[in-house]
Structure 1
Amino acid sequence: MAWNQSFYSYNNLTGHGNAVANTNPLYLMEAQVNYYDQDLNLINNDQFVTCQLVSQDPLTVKYTVNKNAKWSDGVPVDASDLMLSWAAQSGKYNTGELKTDDNGNPIPQPNVVAFDASSTGLALVKDTPTISDGGQSITLKYSTFFADYPIALTMGVPAHVIGMKALGAKDGASAKTAMNTAFQKDDKAALKKVADFYNTGFDFTELPSDKELYLSSGAYLLTDFKKDQYMTFKVNPDYNWGPKPSIQQITYRFIPDAMASVQALQNGEIDMTNPQATVDVLGAVNNLKNQGVDVINTIGSTYEHVDMAENNKGPFDPATYGGDKAKAQQVRAAFIKTIPRQNIVSRLIKPLNPTATTRDSFTLVPGSPGYDEMVQQNGSANWKDADIAGAKDLLAKAGVKTPVTVRFLFAKDNTRRQNEFKLIQQSAQQAGFTLVDASRTDWGAQLPNTKIYDASLFGWQSTNTGVTANCDNYKTKGQNNFYGYSSAALDAACVKLNAATTPEDQLKYLIEIEKALWSDSFGTVIFQFPEIVASNSKKLQNVKMIPLSPGPFWNFWEWTTTS
């Protein structure tokens, strides 16, 4: 099978590692606490971890790991691994801000503990969780109700590996003890070492010589990884704590060019591809139907959007205007008015999906419950399509000298994004913006590094149906808020959203969040992705798609082959 971007981090719970490029391969290797089925029902993988609601007031949840589950080095998977996930994502032990280098990679700071992970709903678990049942169970007590508690805690990287690498433990058991002791005693010296290794110790772009850096807890073992070429996965013979696959080996190839991946499918070099959808790609895969190629053409979970940096002393940063936030907001608003949202949809998306429309919500998918009400109230109507005259007027009112230079980051090897950039560039030029092509092949890893760009064009993919995850993109210092954006009103709405128990209240607070985003000119959204999955039905069967990450990989255990 083929994917368009190479793997670069075994830890996709970090900010810089949180990408589909990493999530798909890891889904093959990591046992899942829960997953979604074809109808987007959340399925608890009780063969691996059971999740028990102990109390709703205070919200108390107990997780118990199957005592037979183990990492591929033979060390048991247990509550220590879940404790590490909580510690990293709760933010409890952080003593300072995370710093990154010019490539967006975390860099250690003297005497500072800073996990590169989002302060999610797990931040509401203020007290260190308790471990029981011989180290198999962990109990979390929330300080207030959290609407998405069923999906809050996930299994991440192995705690014992960090205990050995960062704390010098000699074996798995002593490593877990050292890790848990550091958390329970809030040992800052030890926790700094833990955080620093957690952040970057599992980053690699080819097979490491140290096998402990790519252990498996799931269905497949990583056995080979050639940089920018392919990864090889072989079935884990010991795995019996989740759905078991029948396919013995998977070769996961990296083919950035969509048409090249279609050609590879036609030539029999691959059996499945999920390329970026374009009219040419759709036509090419449809032409292969008479050769036994199955084509899924649907709406996906990803939405295209443009964000702007407010923290790099560029054209959208108040610091450029002596700290004048109002002037910076006017420049951002002017730029948004130049983005030809409707034209992009009409020219690039409607040929794939004739009913396609602009997406007018940062948080809700078109057609989902509450979407119409959201769009009526969130303020998006003011930004429906390009308004060159309005953009010029805003720049004039701001007293900003034109042309305004904007470095624009997007995927260099993505045809659709190249076309989008051209359309935006041509439109923005009419209002006085000069867009500089700052595209890169490693654009995903560069998102935290706003020193190299002023605006970015990419897609956010939903990984779950929870409502609170949206806040990570927009709240002050949220994991995916790379841009320095901060709104007291939005932050307050996120706090309320966390504890909202009814759909009505959840929509109410989502609307508050979006009103802040649109009025502050945070950025804009453009369209919901069309998705194409093409597979060789003569060899590979039961390929299906869901509108959540990991897309067509969600049911790999149901795949079968005829040869």
Structure 2
Amino acid sequence: MTGTRRHRDHRRRRTAGLVGGVALAVVASGCQAGLPESVVKGSEVTVAWSSALTSANHASLADATPGNRDVAAMTRGRFAELVKGAVVPDEGFGSVQVTGDDPFTVRYDLAEPTWSDGIPVDSADLVLAWAAGSDGEGGFDAVPTGLAASERLASVEESDRAVEVEFSRPVQDWQTALDVAVPAHVLGQRALDIEDPMEAKKAVVDAVRDEDESTLEKLATEWNEGFRLSSDDIDEQLLVSSGPYRVTDIAEQDSGAVKVELVANGEYTGSLNPSFERVELVDMSDEEKVAALEAGDVDVAQVAPVVERRKQVRALERRDYGLATSHDGTMWVLALRADGPFERRAARAAFLRAVPRGDLAEAGGGAWADAYTSSNTVLFEPDGEGYDIAQEDSRFERAFGRPAKDPGAERARAGVPGGTNVCVLYERSSPFAQRAFKVLLRSVAEAGWSLSDCGTSELADPMADGSDWQAALVRVPVPRTAADLTRWWGGNGQTNLPGLENTQRDELIARWDGAADRYDARDLRARIERTIVDDAIALPVAMNPVVTLRVPGLDGVTPRPGATGSLTSGIAGWSRTDR
């Protein structure tokens, strides 16, 4: 292995359950097993996407790209995943339960999953996943999860394929925090130059148990960098899978596009029941996707809903091509900065109550207006876990659900002079923002407000664009973590979107971050939503949609919404009815 890595002091790991020798169950690796019973022999499906498979380790912070997550959805088993804000467990992979409250302790118990090379997924893989996820001060650069609050491995049970993790405090994501992204035997073989897979597993466990910094640094370097892929001479070890599919090839086409080929994993024994034997992911632009779908070159394509494409897509719908809309985990929001003309809450509320947000969504969406789902919250996905509760508890409908009957009079009662100017930030290159701004300009003018066009050609981050604006028509993510919440709506008023500090909101965010009970977490998040409504700093307009198209006769293609809602996450449920 080439390259060097600067030495860093590793945090002391307490691994009470790793004392003594570690006896790992040995399973001989034979020939590739046959197809799962659910798979139709010879069947295949081709998916057009705009991503790339660059790493077999989606849990590495540097490699947690949409394309790598798409493939991981098909090639990695997991204890649970988030769907519309709700935790959906996979008991075919294993189970998770809280076993202690003081200290907060969680048991991760595998069923009997197997890697595609015939080696069992066992406690060594769990130990590695814990080491990578909990080592915030060491060499593993993992996607942050609640494991950062992990104190130690309280126990490791080799025969039961289980570990117990002790935390310094309760964490909200305890069911999904332990991500078995990298096979321990492959990592040990590659990083430590060990040929036997079971010996490699033991070496990984020993390094964690003994806090062997030299060996851990080798493991961390390989974990961070060694699972990156190209289309040339890929080591088959890197393609080992614990999910319903395994990658067999990454090939560059004559056109220059890269195609990823997968086949049903014969060693998979989980709860999913894939129908297709082969899956192909073909990289192409949105313009190419619709044409390829119409030509029969691909079966599924996900595209952005731009006006120029609506007529072409409508023609496909008339020929029984399927269309499904979801969202990408972001929403269009009209946010106000709590300074200048909006320093007082009454002024902010008067402005927001002058805005016909339904008209903004309809105009912004244009020919695709029906794809833009309205939302009454900024912290919950519509139809997701807790959304109805949040609507009720935040009292949004009463405050801003519909425009005021006389918005001009409300402005005057708030003490805001007629003609008060508001600088509105938006991205001019966005058709949605362009059209919505025009409606906003007309509607608030009738209430006596004057708007200045403070649009910019590109707007990746409104908080990085200075604070000269008073209102911003922007896309913001539905927050998934306390860090997300704090970045956009909490913390110091100099760093968040509305430029307003609210200590009550910060206290609620901290409590929400440590709420292990799903109902407590939901209610705390709804209370945070209420503080945003009470401060009158944001008006949700609509979720930002994505459109998924499929050929006739292909069923079950229901894309999951949200930032982690991969197009391929439900591929095990796809099937053909025209066979």
Please show how residues 156-235 of structure 1 align to structure 2 within 5 Å.
Answer: 156-204=181-229, 206=231, 209-222=234-247, 223-226=249-252, 228-235=257-264
Partner Cα separation in structure 1 for residue 242 and residue 574 of structure 2:
20
- For each residue in 1:474-509, what CA deviation from the matched residue of structure 2 results, as whole angstroms up to 9, or x when unmatched? 34799xxxx976997666433311443667743553
Partner Cα separation in structure 1 for residue 539 and residue 190 of structure 2:
43
Do the aligned residues in 2 keep the contact of 1:407 with 1:453 (CA within 8 Å)? no
Partner Cα separation in structure 2 for residue 186 and residue 305 of structure 1:
48
Q: Residues 518 and 541 from structure 1, CA distance in 2 versus in 1: closer, same or farther, beyond 3 angstroms?
A: closer
Partner Cα separation in structure 1 for residue 322 and residue 131 of structure 2:
44
Please show how residues 174-323 of structure 1 align to structure 2 within 5 Å.
Answer: 174-204=199-229, 206=231, 209-222=234-247, 223-226=249-252, 228-257=257-286, 259-296=287-324, 298-300=325-327, 302-304=329-331
Residue of structure 2 equivalent to 1:87: 131
Per the alignment, in what secondary structure is the counterpart of residue 238 of structure 1?
coil
- For each residue in 1:400-425, what CA deviation from the matched residue of structure 2 results, as whole angstroms up to 9, or x when unmatched? xxx99x997x9x9xxxx465478679
Pairwise CA distance, 1:233 = 1.1
Q: Residues 113 and 6 from structure 1, CA distance in 2 versus in 1: closer, same or farther, beyond 3 angstroms?
A: closer
Pairwise CA distance, 1:271 = 0.8
Letter in 1 for 2:368: L
Letter in 2 for 1:345: A
Per the alignment, in what secondary structure is the counterpart of residue 484 of structure 2?
helix
Q: Residues 243 and 507 from structure 1, CA distance in 2 versus in 1: closer, same or farther, beyond 3 angstroms?
A: closer
Deviates more, 1:369-378 or 1:179-188: 369-378
Do the aligned residues in 1 keep the contact of 2:81 with 2:176 (CA within 8 Å)? no
Aligned counterpart in structure 2 of residue 118 of structure 1, from 135, 139, 144: 144
Say whether residues 1:4 and 2:54 are aligned partners: no
- For each residue in 1:202-246, what CA deviation from the matched residue of structure 2 results, as whole angstroms up to 9, or x when unmatched? 344646623333322222221224374321112223323342323
Residue of structure 2 equivalent to 1:345: 361
Letter in 2 for 1:544: T
Say whether residues 1:529 and 2:544 are aligned partners: yes
Per the alignment, in what secondary structure is the counterpart of residue 96 of structure 2?
strand
Say whether residues 1:470 and 2:481 are aligned partners: yes
Letter in 2 for 1:23: R
Pairwise CA distance, 1:437 = 3.9
Q: What's the C-alpha RMSD, in Å, of the aligned pairs? A: 5.3
Q: Residues 80 and 515 from structure 1, CA distance in 2 versus in 1: closer, same or farther, beyond 3 angstroms?
A: farther
Residue of structure 2 equivalent to 1:49: 94
Pairwise CA distance, 1:77 = 1.8
Pairwise CA distance, 1:198 = 3.1
- For each residue in 1:142-175, what CA deviation from the matched residue of structure 2 results, as whole angstroms up to 9, or x when unmatched? 4444454333333212233333444444443333
- For each residue in 1:222-276, what CA deviation from the matched residue of structure 2 results, as whole angstroms up to 9, or x when unmatched? 122437432111222332334232311111122232x431221111011112222
Do the aligned residues in 1 keep the contact of 2:393 with 2:530 (CA within 8 Å)? no
Aligned counterpart in structure 2 of residue 542 of structure 1, from 556, 563, 570: 556
Partner Cα separation in structure 2 for residue 326 and residue 498 of structure 1:
29
Residue of structure 1 equivalent to 2:444: none
Pairwise CA distance, 1:294 = 2.2
Residue of structure 2 equivalent to 1:398: none
Per the alignment, in what secondary structure is the counterpart of residue 45 of structure 1?
coil
Pairwise CA distance, 1:126 = 1.4
Pairwise CA distance, 1:525 = 6.0
Partner Cα separation in structure 1 for residue 129 and residue 539 of structure 2:
32
Do the aligned residues in 1 keep the contact of 2:230 with 2:250 (CA within 8 Å)? no
Do the aligned residues in 2 keep the contact of 1:378 with 1:514 (CA within 8 Å)? no
Letter in 1 for 2:52: S
Identity over aligned residues, as a percent? 19
Letter in 2 for 1:473: D
Partner Cα separation in structure 2 for residue 216 and residue 495 of structure 1:
37
Do the aligned residues in 1 keep the contact of 2:260 with 2:280 (CA within 8 Å)? yes
Residue of structure 2 equivalent to 1:63: 108
Do the aligned residues in 2 keep the contact of 1:71 with 1:215 (CA within 8 Å)? yes
- For each residue in 1:31-74, what CA deviation from the matched residue of structure 2 results, as whole angstroms up to 9, or x when unmatched? 2333578997824233x3233554455543322334451243x4
Do the aligned residues in 2 keep the contact of 1:340 with 1:423 (CA within 8 Å)? no
Per the alignment, in what secondary structure is the counterpart of residue 365 of structure 1?
coil
- For each residue in 1:102-129, what CA deviation from the matched residue of structure 2 results, as whole angstroms up to 9, or x when unmatched? xxxxxxxxxx636242142x33431234
Pairwise CA distance, 1:133 = 2.7
Number of residues paired by the alignment? 493
Pairwise CA distance, 1:427 = 9.0
Q: What stretches of structure 1 of length at least 5 have no aligned partner?
A: 96-111, 309-315, 317-324, 388-402, 463-468
Per the alignment, in what secondary structure is the counterpart of residue 248 of structure 1?
strand
Residue of structure 1 equivalent to 2:37: none
Q: What stretches of structure 2 of length at least 5 have no aligned partner?
A: 1-46, 408-422, 442-449
